[in-house]
């Protein structure tokens, strides 16, 4: 097959990648997916928040091991493994009993979380390999698909939960079968470009605030020995913690300011839309304004998001809460784009897949912050204390942000 013919394949591959990411992103609809366990089983917010924390832990571990497996076995087998894990995880979640909380942690967090982490890393790295000349555009499309999943699939799941002939158990079984099948089919279709494919040269772009240092390829060990990495890692923990916490209790948060249940479910989807928008917009800002300004904008946005939501819950204002959710979505959406661009620009592209999975471990610590936020909510009976803490973390991140320098 000719080089031109091979190159034309990349657009269908991008479409398949976005579709796979769309279904993978349902994992983030936890504030909707947890409803039956709270209503039917009476499991506490703290126990359910821990499940989200564990899910993020296994998501990160899955992404790391997925990068290693893909190097040995290729994207096809790796995505098939991911599909089987996700399918088994959601289906077994649908078979839960009221006295089997530990099974939720195994099925949803371990199996589904690991499987989606594997698929996330493999889909992003495989599809991006077809777009060296359009990295920002390709990454933005993939991240947008992942980000809006909560709106599209979350609302569909909520409707199935309320359907008496289906209910939550069958919904989880259906979800497992569909998401698992999508990932397996994606694995069969997606592949990396052969050596004979000639890609267009990337268009040169002016960067207003380009940092002046020589980029080289750092191995993972070299990156971990870099003090710059650890400053950036802690920075990402602090700003990601805000979005992670809000995602874990978004629906309940909106209900607390007197929103109707249907509106609360819709607003969880709105949060997801702005999450997706934030990923695309941040990529454009990174290209045009540079790393320093983009990270500063993201940080300030996170401060405003936490501060405005704090005011909203203090005065019980639904409009302010909606704006706060939108800003939180934008700020949280900026995190994966910044992490990806930062890793590539500071530590090179040769070891990007593994380095990127390592820096994404910030999600694990941020998820434990989300669990602590839920504990504060339970102990105080108010969202005020959690958001005072999240606002404080965002302010600390601002100080740390100014210290990040070239490796």
Structure confidence by residue, pLDDT tens digits, 161-220: 888 889 999 999 999 999 999 999 999 999 888 877 777 765 655 544 556 656 678 999
Look at residues 129, 159, 194 and tell me which one is the last residue of a structural domain. Answer: 194
Q: Which residues form the domain of 404?
A: 218-407
pLDDT, mean of residues 324-352: 85
Concatenated DSSP letters of 99-144: T-HHHHIIIIIIIIHHHHHHHHHHHHHHHHTT-TT-HHHHHHHHHH
Examine the domain organization and report whether 268 and 394 are in the same domain: yes
Q: Please check whether residues 114 and 164 belong to one and the same domain.
A: yes
Together in a domain, 23 and 83: yes
- DSSP per-residue letters across 175-234: HHHHHHHHHHHHHHH--PPPTT--PPPPPP---TT---S------HHHHHT-HHHHHHHH
Residues 225 and 310 in one domain: yes
Residues 180 and 225 in one domain: no
Q: Is residue 139 part of a domain?
A: yes
pLDDT-based confidence at residue 277 (cuts at 50, 70, 90): confident
Q: Do residues 188 and 311 both lie within one domain? A: no
Does 125 map to a domain?
yes
**In which band, very low, low, confident or very high, does the pLDDT at 313 lie, cut at 50, 70 and 90?**
very high
134-153 as b/e: b if 16+ CB within 10 A: bbbebbbbbbbbbbbbbbbb
Pair (233, 153) in one structural domain: no
What is the pLDDT at residue 2?
44
Residue 242 lies in a domain: yes
Q: Does any domain span residue 152?
A: yes
Lowest mean pLDDT among 76-80, 288-292, 300-304: 288-292
**Domain of 37: which CATH number?**
1.20.1250.20
In a domain, residue 297? The reply is yes
Q: Are residues 140 and 27 in the same domain?
A: yes
Closest CA to 401 of 289, 308, 293, 304: 293
Q: Which of 17, 93, 16, 94 is nearest to 55 (CA)?
A: 93
For range 28-48, the mean pLDDT: 85
Does residue 264 sit in the same domain as residue 347?
A: yes
201 occurs within a structural domain: no
The overall average pLDDT reported for the chain is 86
Residue ending a domain, among 149, 178, 194, is: 194
Q: Specify whether 179 is located in the same domain as 106.
A: yes
Among the ranges 127-131, 329-333, 340-344, which has the highest mean pLDDT value? 329-333
What distance in Å separates the CA atoms of residue 92 and residue 89, rounded to the nearest whole number? 5
303 lies in some domain: yes
Is 55 contained in some domain? yes
Task: Answer with the one of 159, 194, 229 that is the final residue of a domain.
Answer: 194
Give how many domains the chain has, as a whole number. 2
What percent of the chain stands above pLDDT 90? 42
Same domain as 156, residue 14: yes
> In this structure, are 187 and 280 located in the same domain?
no
Question: pLDDT band at 1, cuts 50/70/90?
Answer: very low
Show Cβ contacts of residue 261 under 8 Å, excluding neighbours closer than 6 positions.
255
């Amino acid at each position: 097959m000719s080089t031109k013919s091979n190159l034309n394949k990349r657009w269908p591959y991008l479409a398949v990648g976005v579709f796979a990411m769309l279904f993978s992103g349902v994992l983030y609809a936890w504030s909707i997916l947890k409803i039956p366990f709270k209503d039917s089983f009476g499991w506490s917010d703290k126990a359910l928040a821990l499940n989200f924390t564990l899910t993020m832990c296994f998501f990160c571990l899955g992404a790391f091991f997925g990068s290693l497996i893909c190097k040995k076995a290729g994207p096809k087998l790796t995505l098939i493994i991911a599909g089987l894990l996700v399918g088994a995880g959601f289906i077994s979640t649908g078979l839960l009993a009221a006295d089997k909380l530990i099974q939720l942690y195994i099925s949803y967090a371990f199996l589904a979380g690991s499987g989606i982490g594997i698929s996330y890393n493999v889909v992003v790295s495989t599809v991006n390999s077809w777009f060296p000349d359009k990295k920002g555009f390709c990454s933005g499309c993939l991240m947008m698909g992942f980000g809006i999943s909560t709106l599209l699939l979350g609302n569909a799941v909520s409707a199935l939960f309320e359907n008496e002939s289906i209910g939550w158990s069958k919904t989880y079984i259906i979800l497992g079968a569909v998401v698992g099948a999508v990932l397996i089919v994606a694995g069969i279709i997606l592949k990396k470009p052969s050596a004979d494919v000639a890609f267009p040269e990337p268009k040169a772009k002016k960067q207003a605030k380009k940092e002046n240092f020589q980029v080289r390829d750092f191995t993972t060990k070299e990156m971990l020995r870099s003090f710059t990495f650890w400053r950036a890692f802690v920075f990402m923990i602090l700003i990601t913690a805000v979005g992670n916490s809000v995602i874990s209790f978004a629906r309940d948060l909106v209900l607390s300011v007197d929103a109707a249940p249907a509106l609360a479910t819709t607003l969880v989807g709105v949060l997801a839309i702005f999450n997706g928008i934030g990923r695309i917009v941040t990529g454009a800002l990174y290209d045009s304004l540079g790393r320093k300004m983009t990270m500063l904008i993201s940080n300030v946005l996170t401060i405003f998001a936490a501060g405005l939501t704090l005011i909203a819950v203090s005065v019980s204002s639904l409009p302010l809460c909606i704006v706060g959710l939108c800003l939180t979505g934008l700020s949280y959406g900026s995190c994966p784009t910044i992490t990806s661009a930062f890793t590539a620009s500071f530590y090179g592209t040769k070891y990007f897949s593994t380095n990127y999975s390592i820096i994404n471990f910030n999600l694990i610590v941020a998820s434990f912050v989300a669990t602590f936020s839920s504990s504060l909510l339970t102990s105080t009976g108010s969202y005020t204390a959690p958001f005072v803490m999240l606002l404080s973390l965002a302010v600390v991140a601002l100080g740390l942000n100014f210290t990040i320098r070239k490796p």
